[in-house]
């Protein structure tokens, strides 16, 4: 981001960018995180704000990071924030309808659909049914299809054109080692990484604290050992 800002300042030296005001969003994020027994880590809050800002301008994005890094929780927090903003009538936002899909748990035919060579009929898969349901919904809320699984070329390459701006045909809006750059670039990846104990960002030290708040009184406390 600093490099990008320096390039912009070189191209437009007289333009002064205003400081974005995330006051309402920040307060709502903190309230939802407390309800979910999550720790108010500034770095993590910034990642949720980044997710919201990318969501406004792109049809799709991805959260990238190691396991237990808070990627799924970040989306759940953001969904709770949007629902709370709708209830309070703030920022002209609406609640989210979201579905978790795990492509590696099903076959590609079950995910996208299949053609029956005998009957010559096409059967829609889980993803197509979800998109059609969301596309025909009359509610104003956002609709998310969340692929909560490591990225793999076996299922994601088929979706190469989905996040692009130049969608054509039937438009239904909706660790990267095995993904091509053409797939990753339109999705604007946001890194969420669990770091070591000696770092100032999100670390493993927050996990026992949140775990103890979530567990019942009769459960044994969670430690970092």
Residue ranges in the chain modelled with pLDDT below 50 = 168, 171-175, 193-200
- Domain ranges for the chain: 2-213
In the prediction, which pLDDT does 221 show? 57
Task: Give the CATH superfamily of 2-213.
Answer: P-loop containing nucleotide triphosphate hydrolases (3.40.50.300)
What is the DSSP annotation of 100-161?
EE-GGGS-HHHHHEEEETTTTEEEE-HHHHHHHHHHT----SEEEEEE-S---HHHHGGGTT
pTM: 0.71
Looking at residue 36, its pLDDT comes to: 94
What was the pLDDT predicted at 84? 96
pLDDT value of residue 148: 86
Long-range CB contacts for residues 183-188, cutoff 8 Å, separation at least 24: 183/151, 183/153, 183/156, 183/157, 183/159, 184/62, 184/151, 186/58, 186/60, 187/58, 187/60, 187/61, 187/62, 187/163, 188/54, 188/58, 188/61, 188/62
pLDDT value of residue 93 = 93
Residue 203: its pLDDT value, please? 56
Task: Give the model's pLDDT for residue 197.
Answer: 39
Q: What confidence score (pLDDT) does residue 78 get?
A: 96
């Amino acid at each position: 981001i600093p490099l990008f800002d320096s390039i912009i300042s070189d191209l437009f030296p007289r333009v002064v960018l205003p400081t974005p005001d995330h006051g309402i969003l920040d307060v709502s994020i903190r309230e939802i995180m407390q309800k979910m027994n999550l720790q108010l880590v500034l770095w993590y809050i910034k990642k949720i704000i980044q997710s919201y800002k990318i969501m406004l301008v792109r049809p799709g994005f991805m959260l990238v990071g190691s396991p237990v890094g808070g990627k799924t929780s970040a989306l759940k927090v953001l969904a709770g924030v949007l629902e709370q903003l709708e209830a309070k009538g703030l920022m002209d936002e609406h609640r989210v309808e979201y579905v978790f899909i795990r492509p590696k748990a099903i076959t590609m035919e079950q995910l996208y659909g299949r053609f029956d060579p005998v009957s010559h009929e096409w059967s829609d898969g889980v993803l197509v049914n979800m998109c059609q349901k969301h596309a025909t919904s009359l509610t104003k809320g956002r609709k998310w299809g969340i692929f909560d699984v490591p990225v793999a070329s076996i299922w994601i390459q088929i979706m190469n054109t989905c996040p692009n701006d130049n969608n054509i045909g039937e438009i239904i809006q909706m660790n990267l080692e095995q993904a091509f750059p053409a797939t990753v670039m339109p999705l604007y990846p946001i890194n969420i990484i669990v770091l070591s104990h000696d770092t100032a960002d999100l670390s493993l030290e927050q996990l026992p604290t949140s775990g103890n708040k979530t567990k019942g009184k009769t459960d044994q406390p969670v430690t970092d050992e």
